[in-house]
């Protein structure tokens, strides 16, 4: 059930849809949160957490909103598209983590000002957080090695980060089952599932 099943994601994940029917949008996100809540970090997530524990300058830049990097143990995570487990109030700018599923009410309301809360994710038509984007640019510009894992390498501005890293002298390794526009620029390509290949690669570096 659920009226949201009659809509495509790009019709629901927009500011206009939320203004028009916040309950409908939250019902969709409630379903998404329940699905994601059943997921656990895989071996690739766990390997990235091990890398952070051993490499002082390591950080993750992700387009995912599922919070699985943090669940695996990563702390230095730049989430370009936000996090589905955070909510925020556009009226009083309160932001907090909220993991309860299913949601007790839809839409959720701000405890501080009673306005409607929204998922703290980037919707279609919205700009990325400038603070997070600048931190990602800075990390790409100064890194010596960049692993590009499981991304289509099409969506901007994220797709430009590996090219910036390479221009600044970083070694570029792509981990992906499929060829992407980035593949010709990579110094090394690991072709296959990250959950299999990344742990093997990291073990080979020890």
Catalytically active residues, by annotation:
81
How far apart CA 161 and CA 34 sit, in angstroms, is 32
* Nearest in space to 133 (alpha carbons), one of 141, 143, 144: 141
Distant-in-sequence, close-in-space partners of 124: CB < 8 Å, separation ≥ 6: 10, 13, 14
Residues in the chain: 206
E-strand ranges in the chain read 60-62, 77-79, 82-89, 95-97, 117-121, 145-149, 171-176, 188-191
Query: What phi and psi, each to the nearest 5 degrees, are found at residue 159?
Result: -65, -20
DSSP state of 82: E
Measured over the CA atoms of residue 71, residue 73, residue 79 and residue 85, the dihedral's sign is positive
Beta bridge partners of 83: 120
């Amino acid at each position: 059930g659920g009226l949201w099943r009659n809509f495509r994601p790009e019709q629901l994940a927009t500011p206009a849809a939320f203004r028009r029917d916040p309950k409908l949008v939250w019902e969709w996100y409630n379903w998404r949160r329940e699905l994601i809540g059943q997921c656990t970090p895989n071996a690739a997530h766990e390997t990235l957490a091990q890398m952070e524990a051993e490499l002082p300058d390591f950080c993750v830049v992700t387009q995912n909103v599922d919070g699985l990097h943090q669940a695996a143990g990563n702390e230095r995570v730049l989430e370009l598209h936000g996090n589905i487990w955070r909510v925020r109030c556009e009226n009083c700018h309160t932001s907090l983590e909220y993991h309860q599923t299913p949601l007790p009410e839809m839409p959720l309301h701000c405890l501080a000002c009673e306005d409607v809360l929204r998922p703290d994710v980037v919707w279609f038509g919205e700009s990325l957080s400038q603070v997070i984007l600048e931190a990602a640019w800075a990390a790409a510009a100064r890194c010596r090695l960049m692993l590009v894992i499981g991304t289509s390498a099409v969506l901007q501005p994220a797709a430009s980060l590996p090219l910036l890293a390479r221009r600044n002298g970083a070694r570029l390794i792509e981990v992906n089952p499929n060829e992407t526009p980035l593949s010709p620029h990579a110094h090394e390509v690991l072709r296959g599932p990250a959950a299999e290949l990344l742990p093997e690669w990291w073990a080979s570096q020890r």
